[in-house]
Amino acid sequence: MPGPAHETLVALLSQRPDLLDLLLRTLGRVGLPDDVAAADSTLRVANPLEVRPDLVLVAEGERGPWVVVEVQLGRDDDKQRRWLSAAGVLLDTRGAMGDVIVLTHDASVAAWAREVARVAGPGGTRLWLEPVVLQLTRVEAERLLATGNPELALLAAWAVHDQRGRDAQEVVRAVVEVIEAAPDAQLRQVLVQAMISMLGDPLVAVVREMLMNPIVIPPSPAYLALRREIESIGEARGEVRGEANALVVMLEARGFTVADADRARIIGCDDVTLLRRWITRAVRANALDDIFVEHNDAE
């Protein structure tokens, strides 16, 4: 199942295709076609087959340019046929060949992505799709940081999101400095939240330590805003986890068998208000369905 690093980047690029264009151009690649925007990423090849790339960008109208974007953190050999299918559907329906862009931070995944969509029939027929593979390594991260653009700096943090060594820590520190220098306070808060969402715990600890150290970042309105943002995110996450655990304990204490699917639903819920509503229902419920069903009447 996709994790926070995957989902955060997909959400960011879905809302900001122009940032993908800027990333491509900054790293010396061909930018996106003009006027493409996010579209429904479900591509129906033939009922009931569906192909769901992470992001599909198309120009306005039924015909014209298209781009498929995949954020690939690991190998997935199903992509052999899915990338071919997606490209084939879009080529047919849009009347033009577009691009399949794969974003990854891993060298082995980058090598796999370049080769996976090659198939051959028993008689020698060959079908070959070679995507545009954009591997974000430490080198690319430094190029993104050199622009001074806080949004590109966020992508530099993504490049090292699952690492914990000194090099990754240096990248994250540099990212925080670039974001802290952004004049727009709202943008700073959004980028910090996105960075915390995508980083692993060791690098989140680096961010926290850096922002709480007045020697590294002197006290300023920007510093205080970033610190409050980190603290509020941590408090919110802790509150949600506490309510979810309390609900599971209550259900088990009342003798309910909490199936894996129900447990995942509870633990995966990030709405503290909804969790509290479930807890209220659990006090008097006769069945689990009574807890999760939504009523029209007031609770």
For the stretch 64-96, pLDDT in tens is 999 999 999 999 989 998 999 999 989 999 999
Query: How high is the mean pLDDT of the chain?
Result: 83
Q: Is 167 within the bounds of a domain?
A: yes
- Give the integer Cα–Cα distance in Å for 10 and 55: 7
Lowest mean pLDDT among 117-121, 236-240, 264-268, 274-278: 236-240
Q: Is 226 within the bounds of a domain?
A: no
Domain boundary pick from 135, 163, 193: 135
**Residue 131 shares a structural domain with residue 8:** yes
Q: Count other Cβ atoms within 10 Å, centred on residue 237.
A: 12
**Residue 12 shares a structural domain with residue 104:** yes
- Give the integer Cα–Cα distance in Å for 223 and 100: 39
Q: What integer pLDDT is reported at residue 157 of this predicted model?
A: 92
C-alpha to C-alpha distances, 200 to 135, 166, 205, nearest whole angstrom: 19, 14, 9
Lowest mean pLDDT among 23-32, 227-236, 240-249: 227-236
Q: Is 228 within the bounds of a domain?
A: no
**Residue 173 shares a structural domain with residue 214:** yes
Question: Phi/psi class of residue 120: alpha, beta or left (left: φ > 0; alpha: ψ in -120 to 50)?
Answer: beta
pLDDT tens digits, residue range 147-201? 999 999 999 999 999 888 888 889 998 998 899 888 888 888 888 888 888 888 8
Q: Count other Cβ atoms within 10 Å, centred on residue 270.
A: 12
Lowest mean pLDDT among 43-52, 147-156, 259-268: 43-52
- Give the integer Cα–Cα distance in Å for 210 and 215: 9
User: For the chain, how many structural domains are there in total?
Assistant: 3
Q: Count other Cβ atoms within 10 Å, centred on residue 75.
A: 14
**Residue 126 shares a structural domain with residue 168:** no
Domain boundary pick from 135, 168, 185: 135
Q: Is 122 within the bounds of a domain?
A: yes
Decide: 102 and 72 in contact? Cβ < 8 Å: yes
**Residue 55 shares a structural domain with residue 117:** yes
Please report, for the chain, how many H helices and E strands are present, in that order.
13, 9
- Give the integer Cα–Cα distance in Å for 65 and 69: 13
**Residue 121 shares a structural domain with residue 211:** no
- Give the integer Cα–Cα distance in Å for 128 and 138: 30
Burial (CB count <10 Å: 0-12, 13-18, 19+), residue 18:
middle
Q: pTM for the whole thing?
A: 0.66
Q: Provide the residue range defining the domain that includes 171.
A: 147-218
Q: What integer pLDDT is reported at residue 223 of this predicted model?
A: 56
Q: What are phi and psi of 254, to 5 degrees?
A: -85, 0
- % pLDDT > 90, the chain: 34
**Residue 182 shares a structural domain with residue 209:** yes
- Give the integer Cα–Cα distance in Å for 104 and 74: 8
**Residue 173 shares a structural domain with residue 131:** no
Q: What integer pLDDT is reported at residue 37 of this predicted model?
A: 84
Lowest mean pLDDT among 57-66, 229-238, 245-254: 229-238
**Residue 178 shares a structural domain with residue 75:** no
Domain boundary pick from 71, 106, 135: 135
Q: Is 297 within the bounds of a domain?
A: no
Q: Is 224 within the bounds of a domain?
A: no
41 or 125: which carries more pLDDT confidence? Answer: 125
List Cβ neighbours of 50 (8 Å cut-off, separation of 6 or more). 42, 43, 44
Strands (E) across 29-87 are located at: 36-39, 43-46, 49-51, 55-59, 66-71
Q: Is 142 within the bounds of a domain?
A: no
**Residue 76 shares a structural domain with residue 122:** yes
**Residue 102 shares a structural domain with residue 158:** no
Q: Is 229 within the bounds of a domain?
A: no
192 or 109: which carries more pLDDT confidence? Answer: 109
In this predicted structure, the answer to whether residue 217 has a pLDDT above a threshold of 60 is no
In this predicted structure, the answer to whether residue 48 has a pLDDT above a threshold of 50 is no
**Residue 128 shares a structural domain with residue 156:** no
